[in-house]
Amino acid sequence: MTANDVRRPVSLQEQVLGIGTRLKNPPSDRMVESAFTSELSHQAHLFEAIGLVDIAHTLIAIELGTIPKAEGNLLLAQLLALQSKPDSFELSPARGDIYTNREAWLAERTDAVGWLGAGRARREATTTAFILVLRQTLVEFIETIARLATTIVSKAEQHLLSIMPDYTYLQAAQPTTFGHYVMGFAYPLLRDLERLEAFFARLNLSPMGCGSTNGSRLLQGRQPLADLLGFNGVVPHARDAMWQADLFIEAASILTTCSINLSRLAEDLQVYSTQEFALVELDDRHARASKIMPQKKNPFALTHIRGVANKMIGMMATVTASARTPSGQPDNRLLIYGELPDAMQTVNNAASLMAEVLEDMIFNADRGKALVASGWVMSTDLAEALVVECGLDFRSAHRLVAFLASQYQGKSIMELDHKALLLASENVIGYSITLTEQQLKSALDVTIAIQARTEPGGTAIGSMNNMIAECRQKLVDHHAYNQSRKLYFASKQQSVLERAMKEIGQK
């Protein structure tokens, strides 16, 4: 034996990083400060979930004989101790990612840690933990979106008769109610819930037991593992289980869609809260004062919600770019381990804030009526009355009312003189119409106009009540199903821990 054959002791850091075997040297300081630090920062929140995954893996491996029972019990005892995140555990980039940091803590306490990786890659553990975290965050997010939609429906019901102009191009368009306006944002949320449920079904499949790409010669028990952790089944193809990317693009897409829906409502309300519109006023709790302009009450909550949509658009690009790698490369998951759950929490918080804003916001009913009365919001209703009462084709009626609007600039349609209307009809369509003064008055009655829109989706009380009832029932169903799912996952998590304690003889 020569001096060169004498091997120096391998440190714990080097042991968990595989130094002294395939790799001869530990990572450089720059490698640790840059790559390892960044990787670990996106994984810290996976700690508890990866613990459940490790415990489940060990339990099933013992049952199948993949891990000897004695060593398995020693390993389980330390995994349970680690699950409470003791003070002795500290995350360190010098020890690599979340998996190897945990492995280092276990290695200090039991040689049985050598069985932890039997038949599986670290990525299997982190991927499964990531899905567990995403699954839990998704349950909370679904509940928040359902609560927001319920708040919107309640606000719509409260303002069934609160008249205001509807706007297109930020110009007064047709008469509506604040209830009908805000109800238009409940249905996109219901579609978000449908998308979330469909996504949940695809997400809630276990990747465990997939090895690295094509399984393992060591028995893993894919279906028992799935059952133990509350998955609906397994991802059928082992390589797809490890490297699937489309699900996370889908999640990012749903978050972006939802945040844009919130942003559209926030921007409208921000406009409506201005002095020029003065249709709504936010509670002071959702505003912020100007440091230089004493009169300002800035709708900061709405500005924040709009900003969240911008962030999600960027996040969508990040997830899409990260996921495009065609073969097994870890860079398609390193960022989104942290980015995607954080994004879901960000949109969740924005949705909760929007619900609170709507609950406390005041609608100025007098201002809504005044805006309808001050301009030509009733123009379409007058044109349609000419069709119904006088038999005009709609294009001719449209031309006649458009001519009057151009002649009465600076005045309201409510000031329209009956004789002037008859005279204008002779000039525009070539003959005098037979509309009576009472028919003109009825055509310009806002309440009549609102209640005349009786088709499904319209502003009439009957139509609105039908939509409100439909939405309420769907939201009740979503809430009930989501609550049962939440309880189911909590019971599964508890049963994993109880089964592990029973295996090692603890109560």
379 is written with which tokens? 């123009």
Q: How confident is the model at residue 12 (pLDDT cuts 50, 70, 90)?
A: confident
Amino acid 328: pLDDT: 64
Q: Are residues 319 and 228 in the same domain?
A: yes
Give yes or no: residues 426 and 482 share one domain.
Answer: no
Question: Stretch 355-384: mean pLDDT, rounded?
Answer: 96
Res 302: pLDDT: 97
- The phi and psi torsions of 363 (rounded to 5 degrees) equal -100, 130
Q: Which of 69-73, 118-122, 306-310, 412-416 has the lowest mean pLDDT?
A: 118-122
What pLDDT is recorded for position 442?
A: 95
Answer whether residue 90 is part of any domain: no
Do 242 and 123 form a contact (C-beta atoms < 8 A)?
yes
Number of domains in the chain: 2
| 356 and 262, same domain (yes or no) | yes
Q: How many CA atoms lie within 13 A of 424 on its CB side?
A: 20
CATH at residue 351: 1.20.200.10
**Same domain? 336 vs 216:** yes
Residue 87 falls within a domain, yes or no? no
- The pLDDT of residue 9 is 55
Q: Is the pLDDT assigned to residue 369 strictly greater than 70?
A: yes
In this structure, the answer to whether residues 415 and 471 fall within a common structural domain is: no
pLDDT at 1: 39
* Distant-in-sequence, close-in-space partners of 372: CB < 8 Å, separation ≥ 6: 163, 164, 165, 172, 175, 378, 446
Task: Using pLDDT thresholds of 50, 70 and 90, give the confidence band for residue 507.
Answer: low
Name the residue range of residue 480's domain: 123-160+169-179+186-370+466-497
- Whether 197 is in a domain gets the answer yes
Q: What's the confidence (pLDDT) of residue 73?
A: 96
280 has pLDDT over 80: yes
Q: Let me know whether 310 and 406 are in one domain.
A: no
Q: Is residue 66 part of a domain?
A: no
Mean pLDDT value across residues 138-154: 98
Q: Is the same domain home to 329 and 296? A: yes
- What is the pLDDT, as a whole number, of residue 326? 72
Number of helical (H) and strand (E) elements in the chain, helices listed first: 22, 6
What is the model's pLDDT at position 243? 85
Mean pLDDT of 99-127: 91
Q: Are residues 266 and 386 in the same domain?
A: no
Using alpha carbons, list the distances in angstroms from residue 153 to 14, 25, 90, 104, 336. 59, 63, 48, 53, 34
Question: Is residue 331 scored above 70 in pLDDT?
Answer: no
Mean pLDDT, rounded, for 88-103: 92
Q: Assess if residue 492 is contained within a domain.
A: yes
> pLDDT category, 4, cuts 50, 70, 90?
very low
Give dist(CA 421, CA 419) in Å, integer: 5
**290 and 404 share one domain:** no
Percent of the chain clearing pLDDT 90 (strictly above): 78
Average pLDDT for 298-317: 95
Predicted pLDDT of residue 90: 93
Residue 460 in domain: no
The pTM of the full predicted model, rounded to 2 decimals, is: 0.92
What's the pLDDT score for residue 241?
87
Per-residue pLDDT tens over the stretch 425-435? 999 999 989 99
183-229 residue pLDDT tens: 999 999 999 999 999 999 999 999 999 887 888 888 899 999 999 99
Residue 5 has pLDDT above 80, yes or no: no
Looking at residue 503, its amino acid is E
